[in-house]
Amino acid sequence: MKNHVGPPAAIQGGAGRVLVVDDHPQARESMADVLRQAGHRVDCCSSAAEALQVVQRESFDCIVTDLKMPGMNGVEFIIQLEQRRYLAQVVMVTAHASVSTAVEAMRHGAFDYIEKPFDVDRLEQLVAQAIRHGRLVRTDDAPESASVLCNMPDMIGSSTVMQALRARIAQIAPTPETVLITGESGTGKELVAKAVHAASGRRDKPLVSLNCPVLSAHLMESELFGHERGAFTGADAPRAGRFELADGGSILLDEVTEIELPLQAKLLRVLQEKSFERVGSSSTIAVDVRVLATTNRDLPAEVAAGRFRQDLYYRLAVVPLWVPPLRQRREDIPELIEHFLRRSAARLGREPVVLDRSTVDLLVRYDWPGNVRELENIITRASVLSTGGPVATDELRRWLLAGPETGNANPEAELPIGLSLEEMERKLIEATLDHFDGHREKTAKALGIGVRTLSGKLRQYGYAPREKSFAKGR
């Protein structure tokens, strides 16, 4: 197992409840320890049979299971979960990775797989993504226990633009064409991609996702197309790429503009010829994959600037889908608030928080630069920090970026236009830590991140580990 570098990926998908299934105690506890440090609640089982008994009475957001186990192996375990229509997402862990094993596991509902000896960052990232994926496709009224997944992910909103978006999805989903989904960060482009796949004829085949910004160019090529043993340093075993795993289904290239130019040429070939070679191999592999791509950038401008291939742009933008920002569908905000309040209450095991009418009005007026994702984070934070009474406007206003929409009467509390995201994040962390008198666990819980993530951020800011104040004057 490699040493951890950088903040854990749990921050991307939110902490959840995880079940680790492995017959080797050391491996089992190692994975559990990594995931606990990332902020998850973790339970462990030493066999698939034991795990099946546990899931009958407990609910989990994600199950991490070994492949090779005595008795029932990992794939057989996944098949049992599929037959029971259990809600949790599954990540397969194996020291014996093969194309057939990976494909079989994902065809029976596995979210993804990781090889031993595993990389800590990769494990945290996969679990966080799996939890986020599960919450996106969960029905609004589904209990936290075993449940039937709906075919179509929730797309909350009755506005004219949302009705038009649903109609367009229904129109293009049954076709085999490539879809380019555009829109600002946080609008729900990934959810739209899942809706397209769920309404297509490929719904019973895998939807394999790749988050392009998190990978280097070297790792990106291996993730997309796979590699042979010895193809590069560290390639100790052959690995199936995402295109192989998605054969017969769909592949989601999230933020496709992050793929560097040399690799764009190889991606173009796959779109044109439906074939590719693994890294380190001369054998051509043919695949039947529908490509769904998302971006928050202006792709024609990227093409004009020479950062994105024009021919690849035309191949991706066969059918464009635009997801509107939240400020252009304000009438959906009350409905979204109710949805997120109910979902937060279900996770916390309490009654939904109540917002003052004036608080709802404030949220409707606000411009939401972070879109639906920002709204969900605000509602989650309000649910966690609620003391029982209705949430007042002044209490919630301080979490919003100051401006005319927030009606902030304190000019000193306003944040200057042009403040970087890093500085914005720092100010939020400092304010929350100060609110909880330096208590890290409470601060991390309020921010929706792991304690280790918070500690890493504080070290970056010059925070003294045994003090309750920041190193000012930097």
Q: The domain spanning residue 360 has which CATH number?
A: 1.10.8.60
Distance CA 340, CA 162 (A): 18
Burial 68-102 (b: 16+ CB within 10 A, else e): ebeebbbbebbbbbeeeebbbbbbbbbeebebebb
Distance CA 113, CA 106 (A): 8
What residues make up the domain containing 119?
A: 10-137
Among 359, 378, 361, 365, CA closest to 405: 365
Residues 263 and 377 in one domain: no
Mean pLDDT confidence for 329-343: 92
Residues 303 and 345 in one domain: no
CA-atom Rg of the chain in angstroms = 23
- The CATH number linked to 264 is 3.40.50.300
Would you say residue 149 lies in a domain? no
pLDDT value for 213: 82
Residues 110 and 207 in one domain: no
pTM to 2 decimal places: 0.59
pLDDT value for 275: 93
User: Which residue, of 268, 292, 324, is where some domain finishes?
Assistant: 324
Would you say residue 468 lies in a domain? no
**Higher-confidence position of 435 and 415:** 435
Residues 347 and 279 in one domain: no
Residues 125 and 186 in one domain: no
Q: Which of 85-99, 119-133, 164-178, 404-418 has the lowest mean pLDDT?
A: 404-418
Instruction: Round the average pLDDT of the chain to a whole number and report it.
Output: 81
pLDDT higher than threshold 50 for residue 51? yes
User: Which residue, of 278, 303, 324, is where some domain finishes?
Assistant: 324
- The CATH number linked to 90 is 3.40.50.2300
pLDDT tens readout for residues 464-473 = 543 333 333 3
pLDDT tens readout for residues 341-365 = 998 888 888 889 999 889 999 999 9
Answer left, alpha or beta for residue 428, where phi above 0 means left and psi between -120 and 50 means alpha: alpha
Top mean pLDDT of 27-36, 223-232, 380-389 is at 27-36
Give kind and range of the element (H or E) at residue 295: strand 290-295
Would you say residue 402 lies in a domain? yes
User: Which residue, of 324, 351, 370, is where some domain finishes?
Assistant: 324
Would you say residue 210 lies in a domain? yes
Q: How confident is the model at residue 412 (pLDDT cuts 50, 70, 90)?
A: very low
Would you say residue 231 lies in a domain? yes
Residues 189 and 317 in one domain: yes
Q: Which of 110-114, 207-211, 300-304 has the lowest mean pLDDT?
A: 110-114
pLDDT value for 271: 93
Would you say residue 143 lies in a domain? no
Residues 175 and 298 in one domain: yes
> Total domain count for the chain?
3
pLDDT value for 402: 53
Residues 129 and 183 in one domain: no
pLDDT tens readout for residues 381-396 = 999 888 888 888 888 8
Would you say residue 467 lies in a domain? no
pLDDT tens readout for residues 115-170 = 777 778 889 888 988 888 777 665 433 333 333 233 455 688 889 899 899 989 99
**Higher-confidence position of 441 and 369:** 369
